[in-house]
Structure 1
Amino acid sequence: MKQNFTVRQGALDGVEVFLSVAQHRSFRRAAAELGVTPSAVSQAVRVLEARIGAALFIRTTRSVGLTEAGERYLSHAKPAFDELVAASQVARGLGQRPAGLLRLSVPRAVVPILLEPLVASFCQAYPEVEVEIATSKELVDLAAEGFDAGIRFGQFVDADMVAVPLTPPLRLIVVGSPAYFAERSRPSHTDDLRQHACLRWRRSSGALALWSFDDNGRAIEIAVSGPFIAHDFPTMLGAAVEGMGLAQLPAPMVAEGLKAGSLVQVLESFAPVIPGVFLYYPSRRQMMPKLRAFIDHVKSRSIDQGKTPGT
């Protein structure tokens, strides 16, 4: 059976009034400082005294003084109230300008693709913001884990998140090393993958990811087999470079290897297009200036350079 609970009222009611009266030793001057009537100040003090259970002031027609209880209350209440005011100012500052700690949950694969070219310039542009990147293949609960935002490939972002595209859509490319192809023929069709060692990726759910292809406009998925299973794209990329087998990876990840000749692309005509990389967060209403600054910085860099960051 549900019980009716209410938030206890008045835990701090009257404290600011008490401190003002104690400072000025006058109800009238305290009222002027607070912008209320002297009777309102007197009523607030009476309520505070009743809640505490002790008289805090000695009142005469000529002066106002503190009782022993009032002196002790003042010695504890003033520093505590000053701390509360300072805390409010700090919080207000973080809500008004880019400052504080910006925590991002990011898969390891995205760091060299997107973040490395941007974090240094962002930190230089916003010296009051500290950036913390926590790499994880898990889709973490941003609010529960204390993250401001996450960065993931678009297909892994939940529909209830606000998503900001950081790159255009990407192609998934099948690659292998020259050493691997030295002893094997290159596949010309997805059916040929049955004869090849394919490096696989285990999702955070525990399932092995299927390989996706575009067969003349028809999306298909294939369960491949091979000697090696990785839990992230960078590990799978390293295995491909070492000649352990074929890997299917986002195009930006393999661009350097293709250019250097350490990787060779195959099945080009079957390469599918997937959603790009997105920054996501729970609500626009909760966006702090530090996160807005980061989003704007990424967008401006992309526009200024005329290309997607990191590609």
Structure 2
Amino acid sequence: MRKSTSKPPGKPTLADLQAFMTVAARRSFVQAAGELGVSRSALSHAMRGLENTLSVRLLHRTTRSVSLTEAGERLLGRLRPVLSELDHALDDVARDDEALRGSLRINGSDGAIRHLLQTVVPRFLAQYPQMELDLVSEGRFVDIVAEGFDAGVRLGEAVHKDMIAVRISDDLRFLAVASPRYLRKHGRPALPGDLQAHRCIRQRLPGGRRYRWEFARHGEAVAIDPPGALTLDSNTLMVEAALDGLGIAYVPEPYARDALARKRLVAVLEDWCPAIPGLFLYFPGNRHIPAGLRALIEVVRAEREESGAAP
């Protein structure tokens, strides 16, 4: 009998498995291809090859989105701990090397990323010149694990309780601010309820709903859906609109600090604006912490200690 010359099925490459995890995290071939530095067609071809190698369909494809099949979900669940352990092994090797190498992907709000750039990033890159930082600024709150980030940076009140959080800033306040010209024309509110008679610059949150302004004093809390003809989705733009005399804006104090110091803006209702937990670097506590992230945490703590800030 003639022997078969067919080859046994091959095994997926590590690169293909990592590419699959990137597609699974991004749910988009375009975004995943951009992150991996390959063309969309090359990535799609690689995923077809992976499915053919495994003889199972892993991805549902439409013209607008990508989702996982049941088999894809199972594979993703099995790959995460395996590749995490591989990262752990590589980190152990990196720690034996004098120069730390690798990359960190961090997601945060625009203000959070700006704070990192002004405080921690210069020191970190100077200390670890062979490390790369990929900082993604966006308003929406994302699942950092599902979307492939090593860590996130957000206000403390937004960080989930199952995350490990490291403080990177002092507590901060949201302040209601307006230009002197606006206040001369429309008067100064004395109580949160007085805002109903004012022009307010409202904020649209990433999910689509408008932000309700929250005030508190002596244990009394008030939430206001302020009136106004202008709605924006950026704290920076809200400050600019307030500077132009278009109304009262309610923004994190750092965004308005320079204009307040130069008296181009005036804070109102200050006694109704208590401090809230500041910014925190956070990451899941149930998986291995990359060596680069541990190094970043050490830089954060050293930076705060040297500045005399509270831990």
Global fold match (TM > 0.5):
yes
Note the alpha carbon deviations across 1:55-110, whole angstroms, 9 max, x for none.
xxxxxxxxxxxxxxxxxxxxxxxxxxxxxxxx998565346674211111011122
Q: Which residue of 2 aligns with 1:117?
A: 119
Note the alpha carbon deviations across 1:188-228, whole angstroms, 9 max, x for none.
11121011111112222222111111132222211111122
- Select which of 274, 277, 281 maps to 1:275: 277
Q: Which residue of 1 aligns with 2:215?
A: 213
**Counterpart Cα distance in 2 of 1:308 and 1:293:** 20
Q: Contact between 2:204 and 2:233, CA under 8 Å: does it hold in 1? A: yes
- Select which of 238, 241, 244 maps to 1:239: 241
Q: Which is greater in Rg? A: 1
**Counterpart Cα distance in 1 of 2:229 and 2:115:** 27
Task: Give the aligned CA root-mean-square deviation in angstroms.
Answer: 2.8
Q: For structure 2, which runs of at least 5 residues remain unmatched after alignment? A: 1-10, 12-86
**Counterpart Cα distance in 1 of 2:303 and 2:256:** 22
Q: Which residue of 2 aligns with 1:93?
A: 93
Alignment of 1:67-146 (within 5 A): 92-94=92-94, 98-146=100-148
- Select which of 303, 306, 309 maps to 2:305: 303
Q: Contact between 1:162 and 1:284, CA under 8 Å: does it hold in 2? A: no
Q: Contact between 2:162 and 2:285, CA under 8 Å: does it hold in 1? A: no
Q: For structure 1, which runs of at least 5 residues remain unmatched after alignment? A: 1-10, 12-86
Distance 1:191 1:129, change over 3 A: same
1:142 aligned counterpart, secondary structure: coil
**Percent of counterpart pairs with the same letter?**
34
In the TM superposition, structure 1's runs of 4+ consecutive aligned residues that sit over 4 Å from their partners are: 87-92, 94-97
Note the alpha carbon deviations across 1:219-263, whole angstroms, 9 max, x for none.
221111112212232222222222221111222222211111121
Distance 1:307 1:90, change over 3 A: closer
Distance 1:198 1:114, change over 3 A: farther
2:161 aligned counterpart, secondary structure: coil
1:227 aligns with 2:210: no
What TM-score does the superposition give when structure 1 sets the normalisation length? 0.66
**Counterpart Cα distance in 1 of 2:94 and 2:214:** 44
Q: Which residue of 1 aligns with 2:293?
A: 291
User: 1:111: how far off?
Assistant: 3.0
Q: Which residue of 2 aligns with 1:192?
A: 194
Q: Which residue of 2 aligns with 1:70?
A: none
Distance 1:179 1:307, change over 3 A: farther
Distance 1:168 1:150, change over 3 A: same
